[in-house]
Amino acid sequence: MIEKTKFKKIFGEVFSGSGFAKKGQRWFLPGKDAIVVVSLQKSDFAEKFYVNIGIWLRALGESEFPQENHCQIQVRLGSLFAEHVSLIDKACSLELAEQSDIDELLTILRERLVPFCRLSLTLEGLRQHAEAKLFVGALIFKQARDLLEIA
């Protein structure tokens, strides 16, 4: 079990230490073609968090600090890295998480999510993600699909 404030603190340290700017409960990484937003969403039904990722495409509008649920590409961490969904769910469940689960989650954030976010800052990087089938569980607005030329 882990306290909510401790979980949020160690989660945020990954992004603050990787060049993301924090505003409220969101971390932002601005780039040439896109802004990546990472946020924690508290479950209404359990002591659990969801990790939401939003990608705002600058070609489709300007927003300095977009909310992830307004971004043209939206995905949850568990959908993005489906091979780790069980671990992610357990580590984000405050009542179930053990320190080893938290440590593995932090490794996924550092070694998988941060590089994913950096590559997402360009249209070419986003196309690479689409080709690699990373957006299978994502919500992608039609305008974004058209811009990125993905089905």
CA distance 110 to 112: 6
pTM over 0.75: yes
Low-confidence spans in the chain with pLDDT less than 50: none
Tell me what pLDDT residue 151 has.
77
Q: Summarize pLDDT for 85-106 with one digit per residue, the tens.
A: 999 999 999 888 899 999 999 9
**β strands within 49-109, DSSP E:** 49-57, 73-76
Write down the domain spans for the chain.
Answer: 4-145
Q: What is the pLDDT of residue 27?
A: 97
